[in-house]
Structure 1
Amino acid sequence: MAKYKPIIKWVFDHQSEEYGTEEEIPFHRDHIEMAMEDLDISVGNVPDIPYAYRSRRPLPDEISKHGYTAVVIDDKREGEDPTYMFTKTEQLIPVPDTVDETHQTSTSVLPEAVRKYIGKDEQGALTQVRYAGLLDDFTELDTYHLQSHLRMRVRGREAELDDLYVGVDEDGSHIALAVEAKGEGETLNRNQLIRNTRGIQDKSEYPNSVRTLAVKLDEDGYFYLFEFEVYQDDEGEDKLETDQVWKYDFQSE
């Protein structure tokens, strides 16, 4: 939305006066609300402003020229309220030009009762993945859907996972499958994927082993399954690497 750009620029300008532009810059919801008041701009869903710059759009040029790539949630700072941060670490994960495998499947594998009603968004892609049983092949596990829109707390702050599955391997061991989804115009976010994985790992009611997956729908109607590895480097920093990407084309009967 056009309203978001002047707000996020105001927040950056005021916070960079205190922190400079050499390091990552934290800010809170209060700073967004101060920007709205000072600029006389009203936005009903305030948290959607930082979310937009996490997954849906690049930062304005006036911010990115200093090397900042996105907004993330900073779990390292104390307090219950989300602390956002302008980061210089690359966050957005595009669909690669070359994928590991490409598959075609027919919409006939979907239940007839829902086939023509499935939306062309991330929820529609998740529905197709579920009904077509695509995660079984992708993960080489027997997979079972457990819950959608799982709300949880990660290091004291709220997070929401799009889908949680349980996978069972050939030895009968259980593995949690944390699935994030992004629709057309949205981009997978490194920070969000790491937070979701850590959130499931920290919950004793789920399997100890967690695999990080994602579904991405593009503007041409194709969608992609991603698997990532989440790990800590030698300095204890959370990192994420792409393990595999499969492309799917759901063709009409």
Structure 2
Amino acid sequence: MGLPAPKNLGDLIYSLRYRTSFPQAILSTQPQGMEWIIEGAGRARYRFVLVRLNRILPREDLVTINIPDSTPEVIRKYALDDEQALLAIVRYNRLIDIFLSLTTYSLQNHLRTTVQGIGQIEIDELYMGIDRHGCHYSIPVQAKGGTDQISVVQTKQDLAWCAQKFPGMRARAISAQFMAGERVAMFELTVEDDMVKVVEERHYKLVPANGLDSAAVINYR
């Protein structure tokens, strides 16, 4: 098309999928009530798709649940970036277990793999879970810090990979997002009628044990 090539094409695609808005020239073509996303369409191939929801944003009207902070100080000190810090906070404070009421175990983080018909993907962290009935769960987690936002693209491809890799296991997609006030928003997302929808949302704040409000703990019942 005669356009100057960007220095890092991969970063441009990543930014438009997860971090920044599309240019107005693209936004102006969206039908009312629909938004463009960029989906994987095979190895190094992408396509524009119209959906009703592109980014998931935390609600501002939810109560914050205080959780005793179990994050090792050395981890907080040496976390390399917001995403790594968030994944560590979720892991050491067992927020997946608390949020889903399951017993879960971290299997691998930053899992690079491929999905048939989509191409290469990266799952921020993959958990395996089990409930009291013995049912097993695959739990892909996406973590967003800084200016990144929770994207329906990543949710759809994470669930597609779980269906491909663990067809006999129930998949539950989790997203975590840093919020103002040192809070962590947790979402369970699912795909219904080819649309990503929010199943559950909770907000947690990690506090020292002596900072817990006894009355609030009783009220959580």
Q: TM-score, normalised by structure 2?
A: 0.82
1:244 aligns with 2:200: yes
Going from structure 1 to structure 2, the CA distance change for 1:200 and 1:65 (only over 3 Å counts) comes to same
Aligned residues: 205
Work out whether residues 50 and 84 of structure 1, in 8 Å CA contact, stay in contact via their aligned partners in 2: no
CA deviation after TM superposition for structure 1 residue 65, in Å: 1.8
Any idea what the Cα deviations from partners look like across 1:97-137, whole Å, max 9, x if unmatched?
A: 233x5222344x12243233335612211100100111111
| Greater relative contact order (CA < 8 Å, ≥ 6 in sequence) | 2
Equivalent positions of 1:100-111 (< 5 A) are 101-107=63-69, 109-111=70-72
Report the secondary structure of 2:158's partner residue: helix
CA deviation after TM superposition for structure 1 residue 181, in Å: 1.1
Letter of the 2:67 partner, please give it: T
Identity score, percent: 28
Going from structure 1 to structure 2, the CA distance change for 1:51 and 1:89 (only over 3 Å counts) comes to farther
Corresponding residue to 1:136 among 97, 100, 106: 97
2:181 and 2:64 map into 1 onto residues whose CA distance is: 15
1:126 aligns with 2:87: yes
Equivalent positions of 1:27-46 (< 5 A) are 38-43=2-7, 45-46=8-9
Equivalent positions of 1:24-173 (< 5 A) are 38-43=2-7, 45-67=8-30, 69-75=35-41, 80-85=43-48, 87=50, 89-99=52-62, 101-107=63-69, 109-118=70-79, 121-156=82-117, 157-173=119-135
- 1:194 is matched with which residue? 156
Instruction: Tell me the C-alpha RMSD between the 2 structures.
Output: 2.4
Q: Which segments of 5 or more consecutive residues in structure 2 lack a partner in the other structure?
A: 210-221
1:147 and 1:179 map into 2 onto residues whose CA distance is: 11
- 2:141 is matched with which residue? 179
Q: Which segments of 5 or more consecutive residues in structure 1 lack a partner in the other structure?
A: 1-33
1:183 and 1:70 map into 2 onto residues whose CA distance is: 23
Corresponding residue to 2:185 among 202, 224, 238: 224
2:30 and 2:106 map into 1 onto residues whose CA distance is: 40
Report the secondary structure of 2:59's partner residue: coil
Letter of the 1:198 partner, please give it: A
1:57 and 1:138 map into 2 onto residues whose CA distance is: 29
Letter of the 1:176 partner, please give it: S
Work out whether residues 148 and 162 of structure 1, in 8 Å CA contact, stay in contact via their aligned partners in 2: yes
Letter of the 1:73 partner, please give it: E
Larger proportion of strand: 2
- 1:23 is matched with which residue? none
Report the secondary structure of 1:116's partner residue: helix
- 1:26 is matched with which residue? none
Going from structure 1 to structure 2, the CA distance change for 1:116 and 1:104 (only over 3 Å counts) comes to farther
Q: TM-score, normalised by structure 1?
A: 0.72
CA deviation after TM superposition for structure 1 residue 251, in Å: 3.8
Letter of the 2:188 partner, please give it: E
Report the secondary structure of 2:53's partner residue: coil
CA deviation after TM superposition for structure 1 residue 225, in Å: 0.7
- 2:175 is matched with which residue? 214
